[in-house]
Structure 1
Amino acid sequence: MEASAKNSSLIIERSSPTVVLPEHETPEGSISLTSLDQMAPMMMLYVYSFDRSDSNVVDVIKKALARVLVHYYPVAGRLARNSRGKLVVDCQKKLGVPFVEATADCDIENLGDERLVDPDALDKLVYRDPMQHILEVAPLLTAQVTKFRSGSFILGIALSHYIADGVSTMNFMNAWAEIARGKPLSIVPCHDRTILKSWVPPQITGPYDEFVHISDVSNMTALYEEQQFVYKALHFNAEKLAALKRMATKDEQVTSKCTNFVALAAFVWRARSIALNMKLHQQSKLLLAVNFRSRLRTPLPDGYFGNTVVWPCCLCTKGELIEEPIFASATRIKKAIESATDSYVQSRIDYYDNNRLGGLPVDTLLMSSWTRFEYGSTDFGWGEPRFATGDIQRQNCLFMTDGREKGIAVVLGLPLSAMNTFEKLVCDLNDA
């Protein structure tokens, strides 16, 4: 599905936001953010679609939010800076979560592909606080329940990436849903972020390719500025994934050594570089999101609430990328993922404590897989949801579960001409 303006006629009536506070008293003081948390200055927007409900759906979800905030109390706080100028969550400033009730004039099916919500519809399904750009005042979470005709509804949230990554968001949402169903929490949150504190003295083992400056020798910046930018969700069914795994494995008979993620990442990186018409000597950087929760010598608690992702890097020229067999690209990716060890993670934490990634140039691709997220567990009492996202950064590429075809949906954005070329390369897989 292309994220276009086709839903611009969607009419939604919103109530004024009300503030939801934790149902009981919660700890005060402040919670320090790790250097990894402070690398994520953005709001993440998520949409959960449910096919049925009843008259008390808003009341149930709202009351459950007040109860889950007792366990996830930092979400009701606000950001602040400590004496060192570092960001913390001020848990004493309990300004709560803005909550909005809304109604739509159509059926939920009118929104189209559930994997990617177009920007106009997203603005109407997710409430954005007018103070969201003022760091110390902006809520860390907003929630909106939109009821559609025929009983379906959507829960749209905006959650600060400063305080939660994808896994933490999933745990929070599932806990919220469990409370709505009258169940105890299956995962108790852990708010001790000192587990991932920087070391003194720092233990930095760089250099790191992700910080290498790349020049836009292909003038891709002009392409991005001059052409319409479009997002699409491209579907890779089981047959296409099997074909990619054969291509990404040196011995085509041993595909078990190559995961779907590695094979698909190698193809997408290669195809995107071709689609953008990069010059052969243009360097291309691939950053891979790796969740390190289970990779540390002492694994993090299951309920650790924060950011636990590092971004190992692959770096080469477009010429190297397209001239080498695809299994060589897959090997690069596999080695990068495997490099995310305990010492690697600590080194990154220490490095980020005093260094920041600058703006990402167009020759950089950030790739994340959400295929293992258990969004089906976010059942508030009316069945499993369909999950979608939106407002994706231009350099981001997401892999999401495609339940209809038992495959993977690749969500990314490109200038229009590049997207047309990219789609053709995907279609050519049918002949592979």
Structure 2
Amino acid sequence: MSTCNKPIDAMTKSAEIPDCYYPKEPILVTPATPTPARTLYLSNLDDQKFLRFSIKYLYVFRKSVAVAALAAALSRALVEYYPLAGRIRAGAGHDGEKFELVCNGEGALFAEAFADLTADKFLQGARRPNRSWRKLLFRVEAQSFVDVPPLVVQVTRLSCGGMILCTAINHCVCDAIGTAQFLHAWALLTSKPNAHLPVNAFHGRCLLKPRSPPRIEFPHPELSSPPPQENLAQFLLSQPLVAVSVTFTTAQILHLKQQCVPSLKCTSFEVLASHVWRSWIKALDPPASLRIKLLFSMNVRKNLEPELPPGYSGNGFVLACAETSVEELISSNTYYAIKLVQEAKSRVSDGYVRSMIDLLEERRVKPDLSSSLVISPWTKLGLEELDFGEGRPLHMGPVASEIYCLFLPVIGDLHAFTMLMSVPQGIAETFHHYCSKDLDDTENGIAENGGGRGYNKN
């Protein structure tokens, strides 16, 4: 049954969870055997300022796995993924702005907790994260980002015999593909301690070093700010944010593709990215002349010449950029938006990626977020298939909802997507309406021009 036509309050209801009890102090889990002691170069794709945060995953399992077994398997996994047991520090040059990774085997932080909560009770309110979910990930008291271990884990045992597993993985060390690779290795070594990993991790980042001299051969609109204008970022941060979640079934995605006239062959990601972008802009209702962008993370491991090695665990993605005006995006049909997404993808060649790396070497620029929607897909990575020996998860998602958009896998349906993002409270219902309005036989009762359209300055 579709969730798309339910009222926003029912869709987003998420109950507070109780406090966690920690029976013992967290420990540092170190690699089971000696690992290379070296300083690892971080590429300009790793070391971008906007990646200085941790990717936080939350898993709910029906049956718990012994904490000692999880810690022992983590220790074995860290032999292969030893950078996660190291520490980030400021490197020489760039006025201390560039980071490097010291592989010293200091260890990952591992916390064990208990919560008076059942898996079913959690799942009843799991359509969107709320602030209380942060209790499920141990808070490291640190003065700065570099003082937090690259890997932090909390295993919370539940009163029903299940468990919630949360991980925080430093984005400068791994991207989503690298984190998925590590998590699957850890799960495999938990369920089968003597197993051989199917893919060896590749940690060398020098394959993505800048050229000498740097050659910036392409325009990079994803990193360049537009001329002064009204910008959406100010409005997006002017109100409390509300998480909005919509699940798109296989049939609904096919329906969106069929609406594309003239006919256009496209992927599920392309049609959903276009649909969510248009829905977001319709809900915000900015001035028609405003230039807007869609930025989305794109894996470039196979776009490079030569391709990055299998098992490459560092950041192997760039932000592709589609750009247009509000008027053009809204007045045109889905075909137009999908073509913009496809053209953005087609521009990301080996030369384009090298040019971006060189630009980041010359200028420590950030992505242009002034009037941009950012989409990060967590689909097609097998994150929902993680099995530590007691079955696959009942739920997989982030610990918190952010202002950027996530495409999440749907447990039990390989071809469905869940869209999750936080938007200003005043447009939450309208955004949800536009995301879902043509997907069911009945509307959810929100008028085409109604409710919460707070941005329009005209």
- Contact 1:115 1:389 (8 Å CA) reproduced: no
Deviation at 1:346, TM superposition (A): 1.1
Distance 1:313 1:329 in 2: 12
The amino acid across from 2:150 in the alignment is L
Structure 2 letter corresponding to 1:400 = L
Pick from 157, 173, 183: which aligns with 1:173? 183
How far off is 1:390 after superposition? 3.0
**What is the correspondence of 1:180-329 to structure 2 with a 5 Å cutoff?**
180-181=190-191, 182=193, 183-214=195-226, 217-218=229-230, 220-221=232-233, 223-251=235-263, 257-329=265-337
Question: Residues 359 and 297 (structure 1 numbering): CA distance in 2 closer, same or farther, change over 3 Å?
Answer: closer
Partners of 1:368 and 1:219 lie apart in 2 by 21
Select 1:144's aligned residue among 154, 164, 170: 154
Cα deviation code 1:41-93 (max 9, x no counterpart): 11111112111135xx101100111111111111111112332243111113x
**Counterpart of 2:135?**
124
Query: How far 1:305 sits from its partner (Å)?
Result: 1.2
Alignment CA distance shift 1:309-1:241 (3 Å) = same
CA-CA distance at 1:220 after TM superposition: 4.3
3-state SS in 2 of match to 1:13: coil
Question: Is the CA contact 1:288–1:337 (under 8 Å) kept in the aligned structure 2?
Answer: no
Distance change in 2, residues 1:389/1:216 (3 Å): farther
Give the one of 55, 78, 86 matched to 2:87: 78
Q: Is the 8 A contact 2:216 2:356 kept in 1?
A: yes
TM-score, normalization: structure 1? 0.91
Q: Is the 8 A contact 2:12 2:245 kept in 1?
A: no
Instruction: Say which of 164, 167, 180 aligns to 1:157.
Output: 167
**1:11 CA drift (Å):** 2.5
> Which whole-Å CA distance do the structure 2 matches of 1:97 and 1:32 have between them?
20
Instruction: Summarize the Cα distance change of 1:216–1:422 in structure 2 as closer, same or farther, 3 Å threshold.
Output: farther
- Contact 1:296–1:341, Cα closer than 8 Å, also in 2: yes
Secondary structure at 2:438 match in 1: helix
Q: How does 1:65-104 map to 2 (within 5 A)?
A: 65-84=74-93, 85=96, 86-92=98-104, 94-104=105-115
Aligned equivalents of 1:42 and 1:33: distance in 2?
Answer: 15
Q: Is the 8 A contact 2:17 2:117 kept in 1?
A: no
Residue 337 (str. 1) matches residue 349 (str. 2): no
Q: Distance in 1 between matches of 2:231 and 2:305?
A: 44
Amino acid at match of 2:110: F
Secondary structure of 1:414's partner? strand
Quote how far apart the aligned CAs of 1:237 are.
1.4
Give, in angstroms, the shift of residue 119 of structure 1: 2.2
1:130 deviates by 0.8
Which of 28, 53, 57 aligns to 2:37? It is 28
Q: Please say if residues 116 and 389 of structure 1, whose CA atoms lie closer than 8 Å, have aligned partners that are also in contact.
A: no
Question: Structure 1 residues 19 and 5 mapped into 2: Cα distance closer, same or farther (>3 Å)?
Answer: farther
Q: What amino acid is the match of 1:23?
A: A
Q: Distance in 2 between matches of 1:277 and 1:7?
A: 31
> Match of 1:379?
387
Amino acid at match of 1:347: S
- Name the CA distance, whole Å, in 1 between partners of 2:234 and 2:90: 38
Mapping 1:4-43, distance limit 5 Å: 6-14=14-22, 15-39=24-48, 40-43=51-54
Going from structure 1 to structure 2, the CA distance change for 1:262 and 1:248 (only over 3 Å counts) comes to: farther
Shift in CA distance, 216/271, structure 1 to aligned 2, threshold 3 Å: farther
Conservation of the 8 A alpha-carbon contact between 2:128 and 2:401: no
Q: Does 1:111 align with 2:122?
A: yes
Within the alignment, does 1:403 sit opposite 2:411 as a pair? yes
Matched, 1:428 2:428: no
CA distance in 1, matches of 2:425, 2:219: 36
1:375 and 1:226 map into 2 onto residues whose CA distance is 34
For residues 242-267 of structure 1, what are the alpha-carbon distances to aligned partners after superposition, in whole Å with 9 as ceiling and x for unaligned?
1211223522xxx5x11111111111
Q: Is the 8 A contact 1:127 1:157 kept in 2?
A: no
- Measure how far apart 1:7 and its partner are: 3.2
Q: SS at the partner of 2:437?
A: helix
CA contact (8 A) 2:202 2:309 kept: yes
Unaligned runs of 5+ in 2: 1-7, 442-458
2:70 paired residue number: 61
SS of residue in 1 equivalent to 2:215 = coil
- Identical columns (%): 29
Aligned partners of 2:427 and 2:281: how far apart in 1? Answer: 9
Q: Structure 1 residue 381: deviation in Å?
A: 0.9
Q: 1:31 to 1:115 in 2, by over 3 A?
A: farther
Map 1:354-369 to 2 at 5 A. 354-358=362-366, 360-361=368-369, 363-369=371-377
The offset of 1:403, in angstroms, is: 3.4
Please say if residues 67 and 179 of structure 1, whose CA atoms lie closer than 8 Å, have aligned partners that are also in contact: yes
2:231 touches 2:371 (CA, 8 Å); kept in 1?
Answer: no
Residue ranges of structure 1 left out of the alignment (5+ in a row): none
Q: Which letter does structure 2 place at the counterpart of 1:146? A: T
Compared CA separation, residues 145 and 278, structure 1 to 2 (3 A): same
The amino acid that maps onto 1:341 is: S
Distance in 1 of aligned mates of 2:174 and 2:218: 26
* Equivalent-residue separation in structure 1 for 2:185 and 2:233 (angstroms): 43
Q: In the aligned structure 1, how far is the partner of 2:207 from the partner of 2:18?
A: 46
How far apart are 1:117 and its partner, in Å?
2.6
